[in-house]
Amino acid sequence: MKLIQILGHNSNWNIESHIEQNIGDEFLIAAFTFGSHYQENKRLLPILSKSMIDMQFYGQKKSADLSKGKLSDFDFHPANFAADDEPTNVVITNCIQKAIAYQEANGFSKIIIPHYYEDNDVEAIISIIKCVNAYLKRNKHDGKEYYMTLPLANDIIRNNEKIDKLLLELTDMHIVFDGYFIACENKPEQGHKLSVDDKLMNNLSKVLRILRAQSFKTIYAYANWDALFYLAQTDIDYITIGTYENLRNFSIKRFVEDISGGASEGYYFSEKLLNVIRAKDLVNIRHNGMLPLIKNDRNVFSNIILDVDYKWNIHKPDVNKNYLLAISRLLKEISEIEDIRDRTLRVLALIKQAQDRYQILNDNYVVLQSEGRNYHLDKWMMYLLRTIQMKPAEFFVWYDANYPNDK
């Protein structure tokens, strides 16, 4: 498994963390942020040879209404469609072909084939994929890998019948893509950073597992730290990691509406809780002497932002680099376990340790609220235990035998 750092706003943080802390293996340029002038950005020059670009066709011509972003820099981008233009399959496929040719001509070795977002029309998604596949059969270049974008709207990923229909077509023997670039719309519940919807978890797990089983490479794009949960069940070739939340939670709104992130002190990502903690909640944790319980080890950025005098702000590099370093270490550790059952058990052990730490916090009068509370770990545990057909009581016996020092 390789990690791909997504380059968006303040991309210098990503590049610095790669050079100084060796975070990430490759890079993904967001067309929304850089447009067609990415080659003129001096910060990107050292890493262009190990980069790919997401042309981000998701919003089609609705992206033309955005006051921000640089998608219209590309003359073939649907953001340049006129209001009365009809985006037929022929028109869209022509744009996609030009996007492929653009990436080939500009030296990208991994070609991310763009696709647009559909609320629930699986047939429309399949139709374009078939057209692009037919084109690629005749025009594939040696030495290039081609990844078809698979934008999974929330209504689609939660629908078993639609996912089964998609998978049947995506794994057809005539498909010539090397892999798929999977962008899943999670839509977490209010007060959550991650989705714990049963249907979504089941179907996204199935998509990642079946595509890989059918020898297609997979890129789990715009992933959050729930990538740990999915990596526990199957091999994933590439997982993206990002700083700001719009790079870690795919949403069509970003490509069709002007959205401002707003002011925030930010969040502390804790490896030990497998969750984020609101900056203001760290005061209570520190006051009750519980900081060592949630503190990331061997993390210079964690040391900086947990200093008592640190002035928190979501736009500070150390806040974001703490996440990049912590999640990259977790994902690398898990991916290096080759046997899937052993990998699942290791993630289950991390979940159990996080649950125990939450209990210690509660016992010491620290109750985390909103995004920082434990809303996901119990669901992850039950789901993963079911995948390896192990009862909770069996797991706890196994855990006590393998982690005796945690009693």
The 10s digit of each residue's pLDDT in 283-314 is 999 999 999 999 999 999 999 999 999 999 98
Same domain? For 252 and 275 the reply is no
Please tell me what DSSP assigns to residue 272: T
Domain C-terminal end among 256, 291, 326:
256
Confidence (pLDDT) at 188: 93
pLDDT digits (tens, 9 = 90+) for 245-275: 999 999 999 999 887 666 578 899 999 999 9
Confidence (pLDDT) at 261: 61
Confidence (pLDDT) at 32: 95
Residue in 229, 185, 186 with CA at minimum distance from that of residue 209: 229
> Residue 161: which H helix or E strand, with range?
helix 160-170
Could you tell me the residue range of the domain that residue 296 belongs to? Answer: 270-406
Q: In whole angstroms, what is the distance from residue 222 CA to residue 207 CA?
A: 16
> Does a structural domain hold residue 242?
yes
18-27, 41-50, 345-354: lowest mean pLDDT where? 41-50
Of the chain, the percentage scoring pLDDT greater than 90 comes to 87
Give the residue carrying structure tokens 């947990």. 306
pLDDT digits (tens, 9 = 90+) for 10-39: 999 999 999 999 999 999 999 999 999 998
Over 293-343, what HEC string results?
HHCCCCCHHHHHHCCCCCCCCCCCHHHHHHHHHHHHHHHHHHHCCCCHHHH
98 pLDDT higher than 80: yes
Same domain? For 177 and 321 the reply is no
Confidence (pLDDT) at 219: 98
Same domain? For 198 and 347 the reply is no
Confidence (pLDDT) at 191: 86
pTM of the model: 0.96
> Does a structural domain hold residue 265?
no
Instruction: Using pLDDT thresholds of 50, 70 and 90, give the confidence band for residue 357.
Output: very high
* Contact yes or no for 56/30 (Cβ under 8 A): yes
Instruction: State whether residue 137 is helix, strand or coil.
Output: helix
Same domain? For 174 and 54 the reply is yes
Confidence (pLDDT) at 407: 59
277 pLDDT higher than 90: yes
381 pLDDT higher than 90: yes
> Does a structural domain hold residue 290?
yes
Confidence (pLDDT) at 87: 78
How far is C-alpha 273 from the geometric centre of its chain's CA atoms? Answer: 19
Q: Residue 338, by phi and psi: left (phi above 0), alpha (psi -120 to 50) or beta?
A: alpha
Same domain? For 324 and 197 the reply is no
pLDDT digits (tens, 9 = 90+) for 127-152: 999 999 999 999 999 999 999 999 99
Q: In total, how many domains does the chain have?
A: 2
> Does a structural domain hold residue 262?
no
* Contact yes or no for 93/125 (Cβ under 8 A): no
62 pLDDT higher than 90: no
Give the residue carrying structure tokens 């297609």. 216
Residue in 73, 3, 77 with CA at minimum distance from that of residue 34: 73
Same domain? For 221 and 298 the reply is no
226 pLDDT higher than 90: yes
Same domain? For 280 and 393 the reply is yes
Instruction: State whether residue 225 is helix, strand or coil.
Output: coil
- Mean pLDDT rounded to a whole number for the chain: 95
Same domain? For 178 and 280 the reply is no
Same domain? For 277 and 387 the reply is yes
